[in-house]
Amino acid sequence: MTDSNTDFSGFLIAGTHSGCGKTTVALALMRAFARRGLRVAPFKCGPDYIDPSHHRRAAGRESVNLDCRMMGKPAVLQNWELFASDAQVAVVEGVMGLFDGVSSGIPEGSSAEIAALLDLPVILVVDAGGMAGSIAPMVAGYANWKPEVKIAGVIANNTGSDRHERILADALECAGLPPLIGSFPRREEWRLPERYLGLVPGEESPMDDSFLEQLGKIAGERVDLTALLERTRRPRPHFRPRPRVKKTARLAIARDRAFHFYYPDQLLRMEEAGIELLPFSPLEDRNLPENVQGILLGGGFPELFAERLELNVSMRRAIREFSLRDGLIYAECGGYMYLMDALVDREGKRHEMCGIVPCEAVMSGRLRALGYRSVIAEAPTCFGGKGDVFRGHEFHYSEAPETDSPLWRSFNSAGNPAPSGNGYRIRRTFGSYVHLHFGTAPEAATRFAEELAR
């Protein structure tokens, strides 16, 4: 009989740098283990929404973010314990390079911070194109940089031949370094589709299931999956179920191709606080779900669907009237843009939106804001009182003028004002460009439920 405490493997897929292939490798391994019939728990380091959408397709279950900077270490531990406890293998995809964090010289916000906190072995992905024996000093640098970060193995990407793989493996073995446990040959068709915010999300990606099946098959052939599981064996995370309260409020949540940026653990916190989540589509539906006390408009890509959003006059009118009746609305980034008077797309065409926030969002050809944010409420909000502090992240290519009724004051990682994230408030409608996470303010979900129910 298998011991339930030892039939679990968990590891972090880290890269030497952005673009080395760690997302492709992570997806391939997730699908390979799922093809073996294993229960796979996918995770993503950092505040990213897009990579987890692909994880969900590869592994067949929600991918959850792990980010000490944004959600705090206790929430990272809770997410790990909750979402990995029923799995047989947990695959955590890192962010950027292994030791890249908020700033140079400190681990905060890095994949290494997560690996050390969770005592996760690291599988290092190396772009081996044009490389032979030089893989040894490169891997030695990563393996010896921080003793608390343990590299269990290496996967080479962009290899040219089987002989190339043997050269790389021999170089690591001769140097007494973590072994090469697999390789992925150079294939241009395995490049994932990208655009200005990174990868194209799983909700829109032309990548079909056959592509993921191909990746999983290659991983099964080119990676020693049995050795990988054995080298990353660890105690199964234990989770104590949290009590759920009776449902006290109904919340309409926008979920379609235009709006889909939500943290799964954040939604779970809302449900545990007594909120019933009712999905609806601003693209397809003509009316809001019945008998709701609030509307949640998450981020996404309204600029890519602006014409369809504009044509759905019935939904735009329903949301505006809901606000005018003092219904509670909370919107982030793309959802915030949807609440504005209009959205001007990249071609300069103006599209009417909900007309609640008195300004226009204008798409730019360059990044307008990127980074972690701390926000301080200017007045009571749907999440708490004046002066409450929340953490989140901001990332967008559109810009909008500051309003005369800011929701909060926003600050970047250095503590400097980040006015693009200040947002707007009117009646019981609240919105900003900042994507919040309740990890450092877990009481916010309960307060949100109370505000909905009042």
340 touches 400 (CB < 8 A): yes
Active site residue 333: yes
Q: Return the residue matching tokens 């919105």.
A: 431
Strand partners, 409: 376
DSSP states of 220-261 = HHHB-HHHHHHHTB-PPP--PPPP-PPP-EEEEEE-SSSEEE
CA 102 to chain centre: 16
196 touches 368 (CB < 8 A): no
Q: Which of 373, 424, 425 is nearest to 396 (CA)?
A: 373
The tokens describing 110, both together, are 């890095």
- Cα 167 to Cα 161: distance, rounded to the nearest angstrom: 10
Angle at 230 between CA 228 and CA 235, to 5 degrees: 115
- Cα 315 to Cα 411: distance, rounded to the nearest angstrom: 34
Distances (CA, A) of 72 to 107, 171, 304, 448: 14, 39, 33, 20
User: What are the phi and psi torsion angles at 274 (to 5°)?
Assistant: 105, 15
Q: Of 333, 354, 359, 382, which is the active-site residue? A: 333
- Cα 382 to Cα 380: distance, rounded to the nearest angstrom: 7
CA 232 to chain centre: 24
DSSP summary character for residue 273: T
Q: Which of 71, 70, 99 is nearest to 12 (CA)?
A: 99
- Cα 336 to Cα 430: distance, rounded to the nearest angstrom: 8
- Cα 380 to Cα 387: distance, rounded to the nearest angstrom: 8
The tokens describing 23, both together, are 């997302």
Write out the catalytic residue numbers: 333
